[in-house]
A and B are shown apart, each in its own frame.
Chain A
Amino acid sequence: MVTFLGATINGLVLGMAYALIAVGYSLVFGILRLINFAHGSIYVFGAYMVYLFVSLQVGLFPSILLAILLAGLLALLVDKITLEPLRKKNSMLISDLITTVGVSFIIQNVLSVEKVFGSERKVFPSLNLFSNITIGHITIQSSQIIMFVVALLLLLVLTFIVNKTKIGLSMRATEQNSRAAKLMGINVNFVISFTFFLGGASAAIAGALICGYYQVISPTMGSLIGLKAFAAAVVGGIGILHGSVVGGLVVGVCECLAAQYLGSNVRDPMAFVILIIILIIKPNGLFGKKGITKV
């Protein structure tokens, strides 16, 4: 029972951080009907920026803030430089897709260049900022509490932005009909940039939280976690914000339970086992609506 509870708590905590990455896929998909495969590399970039500024003695919190800003900007620039020109020419969606895959590789490879950060793992500053909490036989690290609370708060903030603010309303309008959104006076290019920025910033925060928990960082760590978060977004119903949150939690809990009871080799494939099972039962994901197509 104790191991079950412990694994579940670990899973919920990790799942909340997955959710923070997953919403980035969801937000961009909502507006462009595009899977942004560069998202995992933005997550890595964000984590490396924290690492960089901390090693430059900037201090942990200012470092995280700078990383959020820079990762948001990088995500925005990736869209402006590589995707916007394709949209202007009404290219096939497949061109956009392979472009994001390419960008992902480029970013991860630039980070692993010897003169940049190098390809070997590095020690990441710990987010265990206060003492662990022990309830009965279960110990929760402070970095886990921080990860859970911060991710939850940020997801609430994102939901508030999308549902209650003017820019959020223009995001939802653009998502449903970008032509009509333009007729309302909405600068659709700005909305797209803002969406990429939000996604990139969230990924950087997730990077700081997850790496602050594991205390390691490597340039290639984004591929797997990016795919897991993508799976989480699809499990919940891509394009639907609360779906990403539930999807992240489901993936997190399942993989921690699998690691506990079936061995740690089973951990990483778990996200995709869940994905396949859920899609067979609900092809649009847990909260997905039928027939999402680009207007």
Chain B
Amino acid sequence: MLKVTDLNVFYGPIHALKGISLEVNDGEIVTLIGSNGAGKSTTLNTITGLVKAASGSIQLDGTEIANMAPHKIVQLGISLSPEGREVFPALTVEENLRLGAFTRSSKGEIEANYQRAYDLFPRLKERIKQTAGTLSGGEQQMLAIGRALMSSPKILLLDEPSMGLAPNLVLMIFDLIRSINQQGTTILLIEQNANMALSIANRAYVLETGNISLSGDAHELARDDRVRRAYLGG
């Protein structure tokens, strides 16, 4: 589905991604873990076209998408729920979701996607007419994910969905990520909360200052000593 090869990204003199490669197959949950500043968000922002790649290849189902305009990449089936949620604070929940479906033109499809968002997140349905800025952090996270699903993506990219949430909400969000995946959406999940991420993922990559240092089966990595020491607090 998604294949990143030898990707290099710079911010001025800062070499943020140093030739990383990773792959996400159809139907998988893949997680990219790493500490703060490792380059996780940069990876997702480059895949979605927000940040320019200096070199390397990004392919979606064989189509080269590196450095395409972000709005075209969404159209091709990649959707991002960004770090810090970035909902439109002065717009209503409904308008935020409508914007998620901006690239969709079929009324029926948009209706079905609203329904899916409300089924996954009943709390959003209760707050349709409320502006997004008045939602709690957890609700904004639900809205960001719901909004990203509105474009019927083939692959959903999630940038730290658990950030700043209370533990019970974190559990709920991870449960929902699993259901979204079971309903057929491929997922690339970025997390600092490595424990949770590894528990729901099929495979994982570990990113350290712009390099992939480890990769493999998520459950095996969760038992790996180096991973435990660096990211799992033991």
A residues neighboring B (CB under 8 Å): 166, 169-170, 172-173, 176-177, 179-188
Contacts and interface: CB of A to CB of B under 8 A. Distances in A.
Interface string B88-112: 1111000100111011000000000
18 contacts: A169-B98, A172-B88, A172-B90, A172-B91, A176-B89, A179-B86, A182-B69, A183-B48, A183-B50, A183-B74, A183-B82, A183-B86, A184-B71, A184-B74, A184-B99, A186-B99, A187-B69, A188-B71
B70 A173 contact: no
B75 interface: yes
B59 to A, nearest CB: 20
Nearest to B75: A185
Given A176-B91, A182-B70, A170 B86 contact: no
Given A169-B99, A173-B99, A183-B79, 7 more contacts: A179-B82, A179-B86, A182-B71, A183-B70, A183-B82, A185-B75, A186-B102
Given A170-B99, A176-B91, A185 B71 contact: yes
Given A185-B103, A187-B69, A179 B88 contact: no
Contact of B100 (A177, A182, A184, A187): A184
A176 B79 CA distance: 19
Interface string B3-42: 0000000000000000000000000000000000000000
Contact of A180 (B88, B90, B95): B88
Contacts of A186: 71, 99, 102
Interface residues of A: mostly helix, strand, loop or mixed?
helix
Contact of A185 (B74, B86, B87): B74
Interface residues of B, number: 26
B198 interface: no
B149 interface: no
A186 B50 CA distance: 12
B90 A169 contact: no
A175 to B, nearest CB: 9
A253 to B, nearest CB: 30
Nearest to A176: B88
A170 B102 contact: yes
B90 A183 contact: no
Contacts of B89: 176
A177 B147 CA distance: 15
B80 interface: yes
B197 to A, nearest CB: 22
